[in-house]
Structure 1
Amino acid sequence: MADRSRSSSSTGSPAPKKRRRSAFTPPRTVRLRDDQGERVRSGGDTVQAEDGERLQKVLARAGFGSRRACEALISSGRVTVDGQVVVTQGVRVDPARQVVHVDGRRLQLDEGKTTVVLHKPRKVVSAMSDPEGRRDLSEFAGRYEQRLYHVGRLDYETEGLLLLTNDGELAHRLTHPSFEIAKTYVCRFDAPGGPPRSLVRTLREGVDLEDGPARADKARVLAQDGREAVVEVTLHEGRNRIVRRMFASQGFELTRLVRTRIGPVLLGELAPGEMREVTDKELGTLMAEVGL
């Protein structure tokens, strides 16, 4: 039997060269140590912040219960730092620089970032200023010390949920076409005798608009009294006035349109003009939906 160890030399083919590691290629595994010097199990390039805060303290401040409860979260492998599972107690992190997830939900630990919900009233322009002198969003954003910007738009006559934030990356992803977040609207319109039974089905199957077809993910009748009807629709698209145009294609002009939800964020009981900060749970889920 031929000696396999000599087979490559007998054929005259050169041995493959060993690939050199680029100076810019990080090592596959960086082994962390906690503040007692014990090794932390990790599988990537997470770097412990020597001058940071203990992870369990950061989680407790973010609302995940007592320090003991947060230690249990870590021990069970439900917490990641910069994409790597951390199971050892005492790891220190920099909340302003490092990314922490619990059960896949991102925690916004940068106290300089603010995201709020506004119930935009009717007859308010979705801009920070208006050359025509109409009411604009600066009236509401000015209530916060941080300089906030609106995420997306609602037309002049439409009211409801509008997000304001100073988190530029979150705002960019929420408005980027590749991240189509579901939005829910409540639509009121005149419907003598009640809306046709086919309306909801037609909205779900799709209608043809001048700039292409549009389809609601969900649609249902909330109320009708023989004179008016209220229909709730959910869709991912964000084309200009798309909800109004979908109903107009079926012969109905909306008399009131309210956006009640963006992804996991609800308008709730906010009255027109009122604002609130998004909850940690809402923000974490929203960030997860756009890959943050």
Structure 2
Amino acid sequence: MTNKFERLQKVIAKSGVTSRRKAEQLITDGKVKVNGSITTELGTKVSTADEIEVNGVPLQQEALVYYMLYKPRGVISSVKDDKNRKVVTDFFPGIQERIFPIGRLDYDSSGIILLTNDGEFANHLMHPRYGIEKVYVAKVKGIPSKPELNKLRKGIKVDRDILKAVGYKFLSTDKDTNTAIIEITLQEGKNRHIRRMMEQLGYPVTKLKRERYGVLTLKGLKPGESRPLTPHEVKMMRQQASKIVE
């Protein structure tokens, strides 16, 4: 760890405690201490040598780490589960840092999921306004028509949500089994997004895998395997998440 100086609100956001905007509010509200003294100045810069408290709780400044996991089916996208089911952090037994998943993949879905301890990075990647594309491959019961699938681009109302895809592509169809495999691209990810859309169209999903997340793919990984992101990959993901400046 270096003694590089960064703005206090950015350090708090990176720790995963809250977003940068909320961190700024905590600072101006006098809820943050640096080296034992309340700090209300948003321009304050700190390093890893400084002791920071947020609402009386010491902030743990760790080296920032970034991982990609090929999540198998039957795994919870969380750091713990009250039913003692397997969670994504179980695949990182030797990691010292307190990593958490960026967003979610359904219990019955597989594919790319990212884990980090960089809260600001995670917030940017999850926010739909930044337009990070996520590509999924879905196997569905039935063979939908192109006009039916075009409704995905327009948006489908399910309960109180308007669910959209930015694109789709037929990969294969099988008339004998009455199934189709479709590539679907999203820029946001609401709860069971693709499954709910396709069910509404009348083509329930039987298998779903996220194959691409931004510039990242599953190349070289098998289910249950993981690897750290390279510095270049982290940089590329940051650049994609900065297309629209707050």
With structure 2 as the length reference, what TM-score do the two structures score?
Answer: 0.68
Aligned mates of 2:77, 2:164 — CA distance in 1: 25
Q: Deviation of residue 177 (structure 1)?
A: 4.5
The normalised TM-score by structure 1 is 0.58
In the alignment, does 2:136 pair up with 1:155? no
Corresponding residue number in structure 2 for 1:139 = 90
Residue 121 (structure 1) shift: 0.8
State the Cα RMSD in Å: 2.6
Counterpart of 2:183, as a letter, is E
In structure 1, stretches of 5+ residues that fail to align are 1-50, 53-95, 98-110
Do residues 233 (structure 1) and 169 (structure 2) align?
A: no
3-state SS, counterpart of residue 249 of structure 1: helix
Q: Which of the residues 208, 215, 226 maps onto 2:164?
A: 215
CA distance, structure 2, for counterparts of residue 156 and residue 286 of structure 1: 25
Question: Counterpart of 1:27?
Answer: none
2:86 is matched by which residue type in structure 1?
Answer: R
Structure ranking higher on relative contact order (CA contacts 8 Å, 6+ apart): 2
Aligned residue identity for 1:200: L
Instruction: Decide whether aligned partners of structure 1 residues 160 and 235 sit closer, same or farther in structure 2, where only a CA change above 3 A counts.
Output: same
Deviation at 1:262, TM superposition (A): 1.4
1:224-266 residue CA offsets vs partner (Å, 9 max, x unmatched):
1212210001011221111111101110111101011111111
Structure 2: how far apart are the matches of 1:115 and 1:259?
Answer: 18
Query: Structure 1's 217 and 178: CA in aligned 2 closer, same or farther, altered over 3 A?
Result: closer
Is there any run of 5+ residues in structure 2 with no aligned partner, and where? 5-46, 49-61
Question: In the aligned structure 1, how far is the partner of 2:119 from the partner of 2:151?
Answer: 37
* Paired residue total: 186
Q: Which runs of 4+ in 1 moved over 6 A?
A: none
Task: Select the residue among 204, 228, 231 that pairs with 2:153.
Answer: 204
Corresponding residue of 1:284: 235
Identity %: 35
Query: Which has the higher Rg, Structure 1 or Structure 2?
Result: 1
Distance change (3 Å), C-alpha of 1:253 and 1:130: same
Q: Cα–Cα, structure 1 residues 144 and 252, in superposed 2: closer, same or farther, change >3 Å?
A: same
Q: Report whether the alignment pairs 1:242 with 2:193.
A: yes
Q: CA deviation at 1:137?
A: 1.9
